[in-house]
Structure 1
């Protein structure tokens, strides 16, 4: 245990994304002296804001899901969301889904309203099937939270423990989200409305493991939320907490490489772009993982393999300042292509732009009027597209074509011509995502989340051969998305503290012993453990056959 007289251990965190700033605050609270280095002149990474002429836009995330993970992170830092002045606004409806035939589906946590929506498209028995779907999605959510998002997978043995393998069947890992939804919804319209959310993970619903229906559960059971003042309020509050505890933040400070011992077996700090060196006992990398392995660390076969792993999609985003309010748009809106599967195949199989686009529209000023001048709206349109691993494209021409497509679809489906209402425009393309955030191939959500890119197959939270070098963020375990990166921050921080025999401030002695006993019990089980292990191997093999094909 670290004594009060002992000199504080030092840590450098590369990148001020949500995973980086949360890990910095956790380590500072545990006794490290932490410095955060960020290449941009703002914190939050993709979870940041853009402001222009009185309009405010969320650069990336605009839906707050899995709220318990946010509350837990603040509680672990000795405070709460409320104490930090963050007001979470509940979005109701969650969003409206528009189809090409003029129909739309309003998704809401209001059970009575959802009953009417379901029965309109599914008939009298449809609501019972809906409740069964929510029950299954809730099981996926509970098991994933307990066995995946709050556990580290440092080796195969972690995945083959009885406690985890016994729930593999219930997670439906070898069926797709679309396949599972089709068991409960007979109409194509609702199958689409209940599966497109895999795009939050940058995946096709026809490829994403059925486990990820947990997204529908959290939306419909826990609600969709939005922080007043913009999503950046979350990382900004965590930065403020870190500052109060003594974390140093250095913006506009790009890192050239991680400094290593001569034998390249231990991290000793970082080399900045200006050539100067900052020393530290440990380095935590929150920069894009593939970029980091191939640019900040020694180039190895492992790094090259990582660069060839399947990545998530990219996106073309339009940030439009409108000179009026468009009340027909809710806070969150989804416009789905008629050629539903083909639109995903174009993005994920051909790394291209579909002929018929699907897209998401966020109107922050609908729920938070301060996002735009009075009588006006700020609107973000996000159009998923292939990442930069495909053939080179004429992006200026594509942007104009996509913009025309968005305007055409909006006019056709809600009867509003936005073209003459746009007074200012900001555009982000895959190249912009790559340049601004060092995202490999411009993939906005990092590595994909297919079966062989999760659990023990996902890159580890600690470098396999370099001591004192750790990772946190979208492409390492447990995965992408703000709440998941918050969970990953806790996993990485606790791994560091365990390795340095330091107390974890947010875990009481009683909790620590309970966790230890639970882990020991999970590793035992006699013959029952052996048979469950064999069953798990069958499912892993089946998954391999599916995804290899």
Structure 2
């Protein structure tokens, strides 16, 4: 008689949970995924206004080799799963406060005259030096950091990692490194704002993270036709073919772990599900403080530095706004001050930098013909309970909306945006916290500063409960 296959429960159908479930199923596990929401994808899901479609979270697919490798490991490819990845060209249009703009591109012929306009005749060589350094950050991080586990402090003493550390510049900020390559303040800004992908301040984020600019400029930016969630739906479908069961609208109340051994989960309905291993893909701080018995360690996690949050607008327009590209970045005049407001005072800057995505510019299915779907992401501080630093979200939302509309119009020449705006949805730190159980409404979890990553980050394997794991802490 054949033995029963090992079983696993995955809590959360976000990107990490879906990929983990498929990998476990391919390895022979009987896998059940439980998800509190009615959809897969987590923050990579969609928002709809009738025939308008918006990406709720990420709208740029970076580091494509990672995605392709995931599909390859599962015996397939994005193409085989009917995923169509569209290349964005240019990558962005970056707007400055004086109405000037810079277009980042993988096409060096387009970059050369722009860089030389700011940097002079030696500008292109400066750019090549930056690409060499940021490419080194990318390659070394892929080899010695992103593909490795760091279960204890000794793991940081691996010879190859120690040898690589000086070249990764983890103890210098992105801003300080970029100053070595560019003399123009505009290019320094253009090549550092991507730290916000990690919810970090470029004046404090480790220089290592220039790898983000490298992958954009070397590999390009892709957009999945139909929205970012199509990638995750593809992975979920692979999992289903391998036997993964998805239970949506199923909220977890606690982890069942008698005698320090994970045996399953208890749902808010009272139902209990049992398995040999449990993998949590929920927000780590939330999981420790709500799904497990609270203790001093779980409480300490709530005091660790967290990433920022966002006020995100989802706007349906009754016309096309030709002045906007697929990806647009509007940078504040008071660049450093804007980050201080977010990360030190946990507020919305008076003049924020912000990102505008127009999915209908590259994928016509995102909006009705002759109309545009627009997503605006305004970085803002995460939730605090500091009585000396109150956060009036109604006021902050109103201010953000007014500043965004005014800034887009003044810098691009677009007009009457408010008159052509026919429907709006909004996400704030408060709604991020409720919808996705995000601690402090921080959209990217705990900070990725040096002393909060590698062996300093909470571990993948629970330190005291056998058979309990965390995905992507």
Q: Which residue of 1 aligns with 2:95?
A: 98
How many residue pairs end up in the alignment? 469
Flag structure 2 segments of 5+ consecutive residues without an equivalent.
Answer: none
Q: Which residue of 2 aligns with 1:125?
A: 122
Measure, in 1, the Cα distance between the counterparts of 2:114 and 2:456. 40
**Secondary structure of 1:360's match?**
strand
Q: Which residue of 2 aligns with 1:177?
A: 174
Measure, in 2, the Cα distance between the counterparts of 1:347 and 1:365. 30
Counterparts of 1:77-226 in structure 2, within 5 Å, are 77-226=74-223
Task: Output the aligned Cα RMSD.
Answer: 0.9
Are positions 1:299 and 2:298 aligned together? no
Q: Which residue of 2 aligns with 1:28?
A: 25
Offset at residue 393 of structure 1 (A): 2.1
Q: What TM-score do you get using the length of structure 2 for normalisation?
A: 0.98
Counterparts of 1:360-509 in structure 2, within 5 Å, are 360-389=355-384, 391-417=389-415, 418-473=417-472, 476=473
Measure, in 2, the Cα distance between the counterparts of 1:180 and 1:274. 52
Q: Which residue of 1 aligns with 2:247?
A: 250
Q: Which residue of 1 aligns with 2:282?
A: 287
**Secondary structure of 2:340's match?**
helix
Per-residue CA deviation, residues 52-79 of structure 1 (Å, 9 max, x unaligned), is: 2200000000000000000000011111
Measure, in 2, the Cα distance between the counterparts of 1:161 and 1:255. 38
Range that drifts further, 393-402 or 294-303 = 393-402
Q: Which residue of 2 aligns with 1:499?
A: none
Contact 2:312–2:378, Cα closer than 8 Å, also in 1:
yes
Are positions 1:41 and 2:34 aligned together? no
**Secondary structure of 2:177's match?**
helix
Measure, in 2, the Cα distance between the counterparts of 1:397 and 1:410. 20
Measure, in 2, the Cα distance between the counterparts of 1:158 and 1:394. 44
**Secondary structure of 1:341's match?**
helix
**Secondary structure of 1:426's match?**
strand
Counterparts of 1:12-23 in structure 2, within 5 Å, are 12-23=9-20
Per-residue CA deviation, residues 484-525 of structure 1 (Å, 9 max, x unaligned), is: xxxxxxxxxxxxxxxxxxxxxxxxxxxxxxxxxxxxxxxxxx
Q: What TM-score do you get using the length of structure 1 for normalisation?
A: 0.85
Measure, in 2, the Cα distance between the counterparts of 1:299 and 1:429. 27
Per-residue CA deviation, residues 55-114 of structure 1 (Å, 9 max, x unaligned), is: 000000000000000000001111110000001000000001001111110111100111
Q: After TM superposition, which residue ranges in structure 1, 4 or more long, deviate above 3 angstroms?
A: none
Rate the CA distance shift 1:454–1:199 in 2: closer, same or farther, 3 A.
same
Offset at residue 258 of structure 1 (A): 0.4
Measure, in 2, the Cα distance between the counterparts of 1:82 and 1:69. 15
Offset at residue 157 of structure 1 (A): 1.6
Offset at residue 165 of structure 1 (A): 0.5
Flag structure 1 segments of 5+ consecutive residues without an equivalent.
Answer: 477-549
Measure, in 1, the Cα distance between the counterparts of 2:29 and 2:295. 30
Q: Which residue of 1 aligns with 2:58?
A: 61
Measure, in 1, the Cα distance between the counterparts of 2:456 and 2:109. 42
Measure, in 1, the Cα distance between the counterparts of 2:60 and 2:315. 18
Per-residue CA deviation, residues 373-431 of structure 1 (Å, 9 max, x unaligned), is: 00000000000000002544221222111101101111110111311110110011110
Measure, in 1, the Cα distance between the counterparts of 2:363 and 2:420. 20
Contact 2:6–2:28, Cα closer than 8 Å, also in 1:
yes
Measure, in 2, the Cα distance between the counterparts of 1:115 and 1:453. 37
Contact 2:347–2:391, Cα closer than 8 Å, also in 1:
no
Measure, in 2, the Cα distance between the counterparts of 1:309 and 1:166. 29
Are positions 1:333 and 2:328 aligned together? yes
Counterparts of 1:509-524 in structure 2, within 5 Å, are none
Offset at residue 470 of structure 1 (A): 0.2
Per-residue CA deviation, residues 171-216 of structure 1 (Å, 9 max, x unaligned), is: 0011000000000000100000000000000001001000000001
Measure, in 2, the Cα distance between the counterparts of 1:71 and 1:119. 35
